[in-house]
Amino acid sequence: MSLEIAQSHAWNLARTLMTCIVVVRIADHLFGVVESREFDGDAASIIHEYDPFAR
């Protein structure tokens, strides 16, 4: 999925589920969205973390 779509889905999931969501780089132009506590990959692959409780 593109970065723009991944970011949109991540923000929506974070606000809907009220949990931290991260956008991760899977390949050169491929991104994924996963719940922060479920992510066990390389921390360097994290593009952004969406925290619904952050001000």
pTM: 0.87
Within a domain: 41: no
* Domain range enclosing 17: 1-26
Q: What is the pLDDT of residues 2-46, one digit of tens each?
A: 899 999 999 999 999 999 999 999 998 899 999 999 999 899 999
Look at the chain and report how many structural domains it folds into.
Answer: 1
Within a domain: 14: yes
Within a domain: 1: yes
Within a domain: 18: yes
pLDDT of residue 55: 75
Within a domain: 52: no
Within a domain: 2: yes
Count Cβ atoms below 10 Å from residue 54 Cβ, excluding itself. Answer: 8
Within a domain: 53: no
Within a domain: 16: yes
Amino acid at 51: D
Distance separating alpha carbons of residues 18 and 2, to the nearest angstrom: 23
pLDDT of residue 54: 87
